[in-house]
């Protein structure tokens, strides 16, 4: 386990480097770093950011595939007292630009290829002053030109920026890039997740949130320095980022992979002797269908981002009998809420489990009183994992984060808890069971997708008069996105052409599985809004066919 004095998330790396400097910390294909090397790179990145005038609390966005530089940028930003904002590499330029504007990103770390695609969308990013681009010098040399700035935005080659910081540090006598005072209540990260109003919302996390989350998960998974954890999921996903924080806390090795096919994951597990593997239901469905070796190094499997189908779980247990499955329920606003111990799988296969260590999960009535066993209520999470709210959005923060006055403490000042919006029940033994989700968010391929974000892109095409995106049960995706539209002036809908027009603006997981043309205007409810529940009833047969 990590050192007890690791109060800050980046100190996981430095503490492990002090204990076991030669231990392997990070693998990226053929590139391998020990903890000493990773600590050095993290500190160099911290110094490079500081050399660009980075101030405490300013935001650093990272937009590229998982690689060593991506990890160094995240933890180097934290060490510099800045706030890291990992951006899903699947997002399109206009979505990335929205995030950069929304949280006033000052420094962007990306690749030269991605910067070329992103550059036309950076016009409104007034706070952005520096881009550190991996491979910029090579790209410039190949084109016969120097590294070009973008308007007022200074573009620097990643390696050149680190080299300049090294020289400045040497001239300063090695004063140390980590000298800035940081406490665990300071903001460490902003993770963007789809919002119910259409635009993504930034969940603000403190160092304390990240440290407490890593310690909790590592404790029930039993992580040690002997573990080798495969990082399959995006680092913009709290569940994906957790693979790094639990590994570095424990002194374990994190292995990065940007897989294209399920077999790539199997190959990496075998080649890298992986002991811990995290996934979401669509990935597990694919992995369960593969031929796994009789003897496998996997010690545990974890699932979050939706319920794992029972048939998939049974297949995985048959193919990987030595790997213990941990079924978990996550909440970005509080990182992780519950897990089901593997020993309970046969008795309670449909349960979400109980609260993770160092968290309390309550089932409350609308008046705030606690539900009786078997009585449905809202899942409410309290404790040190509850995040600081939504970035620059007091209204939505007040809707989800509310004061909770514990009857046990007698404190005059209530703490903040997070109301999930999910309806659950608790059995007589304290195990929780999911019932329903209150909001309209669509859960597909492990991602939360806002119907409004899909609808906004549809409206922008100009030929759609009304649109409603809905989640349809799907055997692999969890939910598929089906859109019901009415078109302008009696036009004929060309579904293939409309889907093709959406592709430049939406990542694949947000693309509709099917677009259905309504016979007339879409129905409205009493508030004048499109009646999604009625649409679900009217088009049930079409939905079933679309998801088949």
| CA pair distance 361, 334, nearest whole angstrom | 11
pLDDT of residue 474: 86
Examine residue 245 and state whether it is found in any structural domain, yes or no: no
**Do residue 421 and residue 455 come from a single domain?**
no
Asked which of 408, 437, 466 is the last residue of a domain, the reply is 437
**Residue 106's pLDDT is what?**
97
Angstrom distances, CA of residue 532 to CA of 13, 341, 448, 451, 521 = 48, 37, 17, 10, 13
Q: Is the domain of 41 the same as that of 118?
A: yes
Same-domain pairing of 296 and 390 = yes
Give Rg (Cα) of the chain.
24
Rounded to whole angstroms, the Cα distance separating 294 from 67 reads: 31
Token pair belonging to 366: 């609308």
**417 and 380, same domain (yes or no):** yes
Tell me: do 469 and 407 sit in the same domain.
no
Same domain, 318 and 452: no
Both tokens assigned to 483: 């859109």
Residue after which a domain boundary falls, among 388, 403, 437: 437
Determine the pLDDT at residue 147. Answer: 80
Q: Is residue 329 part of a domain?
A: yes
Same domain? 479 vs 413: no
Angle, in degrees to the nearest 10, between helices 68-79 and 35-51? 60
Residue 150 backbone dihedrals phi, psi, to 5 degrees: -115, 100
Which stretches does DSSP call E strand in 175-311? 187-193, 201-206, 228-231, 253-256, 276-279, 300-303
> Which pLDDT value is given to residue 44?
96
Q: Which residues contact 258 (CB under 8 A, 6 or more apart)?
A: 65, 66
Q: Is 150 a domain residue? A: yes
Query: Which domain CATH number covers 524?
Result: 3.30.300.30
CATH code, domain carrying 265? 3.40.50.12780
Last residue of some domain: 392, 415, 437? 437
Taking the mean position of all CA atoms in its chain, how far away is CA 275? 22
Q: Is 400 left (phi over 0), alpha (psi -120 to 50) or beta?
A: alpha
Q: 508-521: string of b/e by CB count within 10 Å (b at 16+)?
A: ebbbbbbbbebeee
List strand residue ranges (DSSP E) for 234-353, in order: 253-256, 276-279, 300-303, 324-331, 335-340
Examine the domain organization and report whether 37 and 115 are in the same domain: yes
Give me the residue label for tokens 């939406």. 506
Any domain includes 222: no
Residues counted in the chain: 548
- Domain co-membership, 413 together with 508: no
**Are the C-beta atoms of 109 and 132 separated by less than 8 Å?**
yes
Structural domain for 365, as ranges: 259-437
Q: What is the pTM of this model?
A: 0.86
Number of domains in the chain: 3
CA angle 277, 281, 285 (to 5 degrees): 90
Neighbouring-strand partners of residue 284: none
CATH number of the structural domain spanning residue 125: 3.40.50.980
Tell me, yes or no, whether 216 lies in a domain. no
- What's residue 338's pLDDT? 97
Q: Provide the pLDDT for residue 3.
A: 44
- 228 falls within a domain: no
Whether 16 and 121 map to the same domain: the answer is: yes
Q: What is the pLDDT of residue 446?
A: 79
pLDDT at 529: 65
Alpha carbons 87 and 80: distance in angstroms, whole number: 19
Q: Which residues of the chain have pLDDT under 70?
A: 1-5, 146, 171-180, 195-198, 407-412, 438-439, 488-491, 525-529, 539-548
């Amino acid at each position: 386990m990590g050192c007890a004095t690791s109060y800050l998330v980046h100190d996981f790396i430095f503490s492990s480097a002090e204990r076991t400097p030669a231990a392997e910390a990070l693998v990226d294909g053929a590139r391998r770093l020990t903890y000493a090397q990773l600590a050095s790179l993290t500190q160099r990145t911290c110094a490079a950011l500081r050399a660009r005038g980075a101030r405490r609390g300013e935001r650093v966005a990272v937009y590229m595939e998982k690689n060593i530089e991506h990890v160094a940028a995240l933890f180097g930003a934290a060490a510099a007292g800045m706030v890291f904002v990992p951006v899903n590499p699947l997002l399109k330029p206009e979505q990335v630009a929205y995030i950069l504007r929304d949280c006033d990103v000052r420094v962007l770390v990306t690749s030269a290829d991605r910067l070329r695609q992103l550059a036309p969308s950076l016009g409104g990013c007034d706070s952005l002053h520096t881009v550190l681009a991996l491979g910029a010098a090579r790209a410039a040399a190949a084109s016969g030109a120097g590294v070009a700035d973008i308007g007022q935005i200074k573009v620097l080659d990643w390696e050149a920026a680190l080299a300049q910081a090294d020289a400045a540090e040497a001239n300063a006598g090695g004063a140390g890039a980590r000298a800035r005072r940081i406490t665990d209540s300071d903001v460490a990260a902003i993770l963007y997740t789809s919002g119910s109003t259409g635009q993504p919302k930034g969940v603000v996390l403190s160092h304390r949130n990240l440290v407490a989350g890593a310690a909790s998960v590592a404790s029930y998974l039993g992580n040690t320095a002997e573990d080798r954890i495969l990082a399959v999921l995006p680092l913009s996903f709290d569940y994906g980022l957790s693979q790094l924080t639990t590994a570095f806390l424990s002194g374990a090795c994190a292995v990065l992979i940007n897989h294209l096919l399920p077999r790539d994951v199997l190959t990496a597990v075998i080649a890298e002797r992986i002991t811990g593997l995290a996934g979401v239901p669509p990935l597990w469905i694919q992995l369960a269908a593969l031929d796994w070796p009789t003897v496998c190094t996997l010690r545990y499997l974890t699932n979050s981002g939706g319920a794992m189908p029972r048939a998939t779980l049974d297949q995985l247990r048959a193919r990987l009998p030595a790997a213990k499955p941990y079924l978990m329920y996550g909440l970005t606003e509080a990182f992780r809420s519950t897990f089901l111990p593997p020993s309970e799988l046969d008795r309670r296969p449909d349960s979400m489990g109980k609260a993770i260590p160092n968290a309390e999960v309550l089932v409350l009535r609308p008046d705030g009183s606690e539900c009786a066993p078997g009585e449905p209520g809202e899942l409410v999470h309290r404790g040190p994992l509850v995040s600081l709210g939504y970035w620059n959005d007091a209204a939505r923060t007040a809707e989800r984060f509310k004061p909770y006055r514990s009857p046990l403490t007698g404190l005059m000042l209530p703490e903040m808890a997070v109301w999930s919006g999910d309806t659950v029940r608790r059995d007589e033994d304290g195990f929780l069971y999911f019932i329903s989700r209150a909001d309209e968010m669509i859960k597909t391929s492990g991602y939360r997708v806002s119907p409004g974000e899909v609808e906004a892109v549809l409206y922008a095409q100009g030929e759609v008069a009304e649109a409603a995106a809905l989640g349809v049960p799907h055997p692999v995706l969890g939910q598929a996105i089906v859109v019901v539209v009415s078109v302008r002036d009696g036009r004929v809908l060309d579904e293939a052409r409309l889907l093709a027009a959406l592709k430049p603006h939406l990542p694949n997981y947000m693309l509709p599985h099917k677009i259905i043309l309504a016979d007339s205007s879409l129905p409205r409810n009493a508030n004048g809004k499109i009646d999604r529940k009625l649409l679900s009833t009217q088009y049930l047969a079409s939905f079933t066919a679309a998801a088949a």
